Amino acid sequence: MQKLVLLRHGQSIWNQQNRFTGWTDVDLTAEGMRQAGQAGQLLRQHGYSFDIGFTSVLKRAIKTLDITLEELDLLWIPVQKSWRLNERFYGALQGLNKTETSEKYGAEQVQQWRRAPQAHPPALTRADPRFPGHDARYQHLTARELPLTENLSETLARVLPFWTEQIIPAIRGHQKVLVCAHGNSLRALVQYIDHLTDAEVTGLDIPCGVPLVYELDDDLNRLRHYYLE
């Protein structure tokens, strides 16, 4: 049996301000840093250790992973960062307040954009300053890989190559893996690992800063999963 731990970053400034974030690179709040430290303490108390960490190219996840690893005295282990673990790209919603957006478009529409796997938030244009093509960290992406908007299925489609080519080989090599990512990139991954239907993933929420442990058999099928308390 092997264990894999998934961790959503701690509270970010835009989580606190209730704004759509997506690929916007906002920092953790003091509470977010505390949650990350607490995740590390929990993992330590339960005897967890890791050989490799995986995270996105967004500082709320990178810092959460760092703080967690610091609590475990594991800042020295290799960490691989990839845009493929980034949050779902929220298109033209990025930066908007979620409550104000519900008042404007209706709560049902906003809930669809947030949770329904096939719903596309309104798209950005390439001229928009929020388009990731303007950001140095995404210069190596192809035009097709640079999103204007993304639904959860598209998020899963870009997470999966990283899962199968980087994370799965590490687990198969008996490395103990910690993945620190985002609410929706993790929802997409959980949909895949747990074979959830679109209806099931619609009701799935992943809390900030709480380690989610997967126990896997030798064929890497899920045996069970649970949040660490």
Ligand X SMILES: O=C(O)[C@H](O)COP(=O)(O)O
Q: How far is the CB of 208 from ligand X (least distance, A)?
A: 9
- Is 103 catalytic? The answer is no
Q: What part of residues 188-227 is at the interface with ligand X (CB under 6 A)?
A: none
- Span from 18-26, 131-139, 142-150, 196-204 in contact with ligand X (CB under 6 A): 18-26
Pick between residue 29 and residue 184 the one whose CB is nearest to ligand X.
184
Tell me which residue has tokens 């303007």. Answer: 134
Task: Say if residues 10 and 33 touch (Cβ distance below 8 Å).
Answer: yes
**Residue 150 interacting with ligand X (CB under 6 A):** no
Pick between residue 11 and residue 52 the one whose CB is nearest to ligand X.
11
Task: Report the side by side order of strands in the sheet with 52-55.
Answer: 79-81, 52-55, 177-181, 2-8, 212-216, 222-227
> Which of 31, 70, 87, 145 is labelled catalytic?
87
- Span from 132-140, 170-178, 181-189, 212-220 in contact with ligand X (CB under 6 A): 181-189
53 is in an annotated binding site: no
Q: How far is the CB of 114 from ligand X (least distance, A)?
A: 4
**Residue 87 interacting with ligand X (CB under 6 A):** yes
Residue 179, SS3?
Answer: strand
Task: Say if residues 40 and 69 touch (Cβ distance below 8 Å).
Answer: yes
Task: Say if residues 148 and 124 touch (Cβ distance below 8 Å).
Answer: yes
Q: Which residue's CB atom is positioned nearest to ligand X?
A: 21
Q: How far is the CB of 45 from ligand X (least distance, A)?
A: 27
Output the six-digit token pair for 12.
């970010």
114 is in an annotated binding site: yes
Task: Say if residues 32 and 208 touch (Cβ distance below 8 Å).
Answer: yes
222 is in an annotated binding site: no
- For residue 87, what are the CA distances in angstroms to 55, 171, 184, 186? 11, 23, 6, 8
Pick between residue 32 and residue 53 the one whose CB is nearest to ligand X.
32
**Residue 10 interacting with ligand X (CB under 6 A):** no
Beta strand 52-55 with 212-216 is: unpaired
Residue 53, SS3?
Answer: strand
**Which string of DSSP letters, residue by residue, matches 60-93?**
HHHHHHHHHHHHTT-TTS-EEE-GGGSPPP-GGG
Pick between residue 130 and residue 171 the one whose CB is nearest to ligand X.
130
**Residue 21 interacting with ligand X (CB under 6 A):** yes
The H-or-E segment that residue 152 falls in is: helix 152-162
Known binding-site residue numbers for substrate: 8-15, 21-22, 60, 87-90, 98, 114-115, 183-184
Q: Give the footprint of ligand X on this chain (CB under 6 A).
A: 20-22, 87, 90, 114, 182-184
Known binding-site residue numbers: 8-15, 21-22, 60, 87-90, 98, 114-115, 183-184
Residues tagged active-site: 9, 87
